[in-house]
Amino acid sequence: MFKLGLVGEKLSHSQSPQIHREIMSKHEVDGTYELLEFSRETFAKDFNNLKNSGYRGVNITIPYKETVLSLLDEISEKAKYIGSVNTVSFENGKAKGFNTDYHGFVALLEHYDVVVKGKGAVILGSGGSAKAVVTALLDLGIYDLTIVSRGKHSFHGNYTISYEFYKEAKTKNDILINCTPVGMYPNVDASPLPKEDINTNVVIDLIYNPQKTLLLQYTEELGIRGISGSLMLKEQAVKAHEIWNGNENI
């Protein structure tokens, strides 16, 4: 039996168990998928305990996609380059990390026919998901990239700017991508940007619960195309199962 799970801090909003159980049912895989809430104080100990507890693998979510790196025995080249891991496989007491967020995001762009080559994009957030998105955009030929964050960071030579600076600049861009958890259930009345600061052609909100965040409600009111992160969640889950089934060519 496959024993799988999702590791995070607060998981009441997660739709991952349903998605993974559907994948296992479709492929007639006998397995379980559980929610594993670990506190920041005990994360390292709790994660290391998973290595020999019968789990075949786990997904990693907020806030541990970067923290987990130091606890892994191996990291795929892609995940190492991205600097973030959201999928881990366990074998013989060892843990290997992968990044399937990258694949999920690329699949989302392809599904919705969002062309990024030669375009300008703004990324809200600087966590693990943002790193995967930034890497994918650069690989796909994004022309101009702005990363907005509350802290100072640098990804592949791109330095972050503050929300205050972004609001003052009022720069027009082609694609706005929310990689923060702002607006996620249960805090559904929050948005990473006020309505008046949304100046773009397409908004992608990686949040999938709720399906229509306040940010996406704003885009609808402004007549801007809005896309939720639901499909990305499903696609990265499919890729995770390929890894757990032994296909590690990613």
User: Fold identical between 2-100+232-244 and 102-230?
Assistant: yes
- Average pLDDT on 12-40 reads 92
Q: What is the pLDDT of residue 1?
A: 82
Cα(39)–Cα(223) distance, integer angstroms: 41
pLDDT of 158 above 90: no
CATH number of the structural domain 102-230: 3.40.50.720
- Average pLDDT on 197-220 reads 96
Taking the model in full, what pTM does it have? 0.94
The amino acid sitting at 191 is: S
Residue scoring higher pLDDT (87 or 166): 87
Q: Which of 51, 65, 117, 131 is catalytic?
A: 65
Q: Per the CATH hierarchy, to which homologous superfamily does domain 2-100+232-244 belong?
A: Leucine Dehydrogenase, chain A, domain 1 (3.40.50.10860)
- Average pLDDT on 123-133 reads 95
Contact, 135 vs 157, CB < 8 A?
Answer: no
Contact, 185 vs 228, CB < 8 A?
Answer: no
pLDDT in tens, 60-119: 999 999 999 999 999 999 999 999 999 999 999 999 999 999 999 999 999 999 999 999
Q: What is the pLDDT of residue 59?
A: 97
Contact, 130 vs 82, CB < 8 A?
Answer: no
The neighbouring-strand residues paired with 29 are none
Name the band, by pLDDT with cuts 50, 70 and 90, for residue 250.
Answer: very low
Q: What is the pLDDT of residue 248?
A: 58
Cα(16)–Cα(6) distance, integer angstroms: 7
Question: Minimal CA–CA distance to 127: which of 103, 96, 151, 158?
Answer: 151
Contact, 229 vs 46, CB < 8 A?
Answer: no
Domain borders along the chain are 2-100+232-244, 102-230
> Residue 65 catalytic?
yes
Cα(249)–Cα(115) distance, integer angstroms: 26
Question: Across the chain, what does the average pLDDT equal?
Answer: 94
Strand order in the sheet with 120-124: 154-155, 158-161, 144-148, 120-124, 175-178, 202-205, 225-228
Question: Minimal CA–CA distance to 177: which of 238, 232, 98, 118?
Answer: 232
Name the band, by pLDDT with cuts 50, 70 and 90, for residue 40.
Answer: very high
Percent of the chain topping pLDDT 90: 85
